[in-house]
Structure 1
């Protein structure tokens, strides 16, 4: 196995494009994220849900994926609802402001989040 194919296999999540700068001998490497590992803690649950998603996915899609994984793995305690619209995503359990559902993951300042049911006010 040559070193280039080994490199491609080890770096499956990141693509690297090389190009010459102004005809000189220096090579510039540009990295593009293709996947993100996001950690979601669900209120009253033990352990973190690990979700791998595209950076272009939205907060709403992350909530759907986290709930889907939680239900699929039969984690406890059981959720009151499997409807993603019944939940809000926060940066932490101490942050009162919830994230906007249409925001893209790549634009967020963290990869660790807290999911809790919407308050019934």
Structure 2
């Protein structure tokens, strides 16, 4: 008799949802962008549909708003490149979606001005945005030293 006097929990009916309805979709993402020369990363909240160009513009605007040292020489977003890390030579494309990058931590560095090459031509922004070409040049320049060393032996 005592057992029948206890209150029992009401039974819940489970409603099955599709896989898309089970998890709420992320509408905003938090990114950490470390700017070259700064002490710590700038935290930026972006939407899923944002591009790398949007992330650069927002990070630069937030950095200037916070008044962090060192002061940026320019607040124009087109003067910067976004990389996965400070050790990454390739900069990310401005039209890439941030959702597809696979990381939420990035490194922002100033874009170098066009440098005249030895043949008199000037590097364009598309060729200057890739540091790997500069790295190849330095590797190829080292091969000449190896030839000289063989000659001296």
For normalisation by structure 1, the TM-score amounts to: 0.76
The structural deviation recorded for 1:109 is 1.1
CA pair 118-30 structure 1, distance change in 2 beyond 3 A: same
Are residues 1:20 and 2:20 paired? no
More strand by share: 1
Are residues 1:79 and 2:72 paired? yes
More helix by share: 2
1:64-101 Cα distance to aligned partner (Å, 9 max, x none): 00000110111100001110000000000000100000
Structure with more contact order per residue of length (Cα contacts < 8 Å, sep ≥ 6):
1
- Determine the structure 2 residue equivalent to 1:98: 91
Residue-pair matches, total: 98
Tell me the C-alpha RMSD between the 2 structures: 1.5
The structural deviation recorded for 1:20 is 3.5
SS in 2 for 1:20: coil
Are residues 1:63 and 2:50 paired? no
- Determine the structure 1 residue equivalent to 2:135: none
The structural deviation recorded for 1:19 is 5.2
CA pair 31-70 structure 1, distance change in 2 beyond 3 A: same
- Determine the structure 2 residue equivalent to 1:38: 31
Counterparts of 1:20 and 1:43 in 2: how far apart (Å)?
46
Structure 1 gap ranges (5+):
1-17, 22-27
Structure 2 gap ranges (5+):
1-14, 116-153
